[in-house]
Amino acid sequence: MSEFLSLAYPWIKTLHVISVVAWMAGMFYLPRLYVYHTESVEQGSETDLLFQTMERRLLRAIINPAMISTWVFGLCLVFTPGIVDWSSVWPWTKTLGIFVLSWHHGWLSARRRDFVAGRNTRSGRTYRMMNEVPTLCLIVIVGSVIGLKLSGW
């Protein structure tokens, strides 16, 4: 298996990066939809149903598959011999960023269920603040791989 992973490394890394880009795009957009949904839409209206449809499709068609493929290809990279040195700092800080981003994904999914049930209690301000979580995770993750790894941490 490790021989296959080593031979497929460039393709696995390519698919991982593509998956991350798709996941991040959705993670940046969904909280912004929630801001507009909260501040501009009357519950039970046609527009409410339209926003629910957009949010559901974004999660099911883009964000969820992209997260799954990010994790699958990322784990393939982890198990590729010579790629991760767990005695360094960078894989641990990257892992922290990944877990926070995955938690945030789950939090956003739960908020969609709140909108569907008509029990959203969070303000647009809350969603604006939560819209910054993916950016912070991105800084930690990319900073870990490029900054810390290349500097030998």
Q: In angstroms, rounded to a whole number, what is the distance separating the alpha carbons of residues 134 and 14?
A: 21
pLDDT values of the chain reduced to their tens digit, one per residue, 153 residues: 889 999 999 999 999 999 999 999 999 999 999 999 999 999 999 999 999 999 999 999 999 999 999 999 999 999 999 999 999 999 999 999 999 999 999 999 999 999 999 999 999 999 999 999 999 999 999 999 998 777 778
Say which residue the tokens 């912004």 belong to: 32
DSSP 131: T
pLDDT number for residue 136: 97
Two tokens at 46? 């046609």
pLDDT number for residue 2: 81
- CB atoms inside a 10 Å sphere around CB 134: 24
